[in-house]
Amino acid sequence: MKIQLGLLTAACAGALCAQTANTLSMDTKGMFDGVKNNIVKAAEKMPEENYAFKPVDTVRSFGQLVGHLADANYMFCAAVKGEKAPAGGIEKGKTSKADLVQGLKDATAYCDSVYAGMSDGAGAEKIKLFGRERSKLSVLNLNTSHSNEHYGNIVTYMRIKGLVPPSSEGR
């Protein structure tokens, strides 16, 4: 009985250790999941006729914002994976809501695998991005920050069009 209890305690401690060992990478993934859900839901919610909408001529249209986010997700996550982005040119090459939403979904799914496969140890590894050495986790956090920045634009566009953004909808 003592041996079985000791093994059970060791197994539980090992499982707990595994859960807490990657706290930083798990938190990074959680932050990405939040903004990813908001940007995808917003892209789906905005009517097609508003995809060309710009509050002023000097900014991106709503559709261009969606495409830009897709391109950026591919760029940041491919850098972390150490590979060439598998897709791109969405902002400049796609104009229909269906194509832009699909491009965004594909890009965030690509990133999902990167965030899900990240550990704190691997996240500390350095890569070069924008002429600087950065940890992989900092690049993933930069992707999340960039997505949040543009989600703020998306929220403004949606409010101007009389729509409630996903982050303000009732739960």
For residue 1, being part of any structural domain is answered with: no
Q: How far apart are CA 31 and CA 92, in angstroms?
A: 28
The enclosing domain of 149 has a CATH number of: 1.20.120.450
pLDDT at 20: 63
Check: CB of residue 107 under 8 Å from CB of residue 87: yes
pLDDT at 19: 54
pLDDT at 11: 47
For residue 103, being part of any structural domain is answered with: yes
For residue 51, being part of any structural domain is answered with: yes
For residue 130, being part of any structural domain is answered with: yes
Enclosing domain of residue 113: 23-168
Count structural domains, the chain.
Answer: 1
Q: How many helices (H) and strands (E) does the chain have?
A: 7, 2
For residue 41, what are its two tokens?
A: 């839901």
Residues of the chain short of pLDDT 50, as ranges, are 1, 5-13, 15
Check: CB of residue 96 under 8 Å from CB of residue 88: no
Instruction: Render 114-165 in DSSP notation, one character per residue.
Output: HHHT--HHHHTSEEEETTEEEEHHHHHHHHHHHHHHHHHHHHHHHHHTT---
**pTM for the full model?**
0.86
For residue 126, being part of any structural domain is answered with: yes
Check: CB of residue 112 under 8 Å from CB of residue 131: no
pLDDT at 21: 82
pLDDT at 22: 86
Q: How confident is the model over 61-91, as pLDDT tens digits? A: 999 999 999 999 999 999 999 999 999 999 9
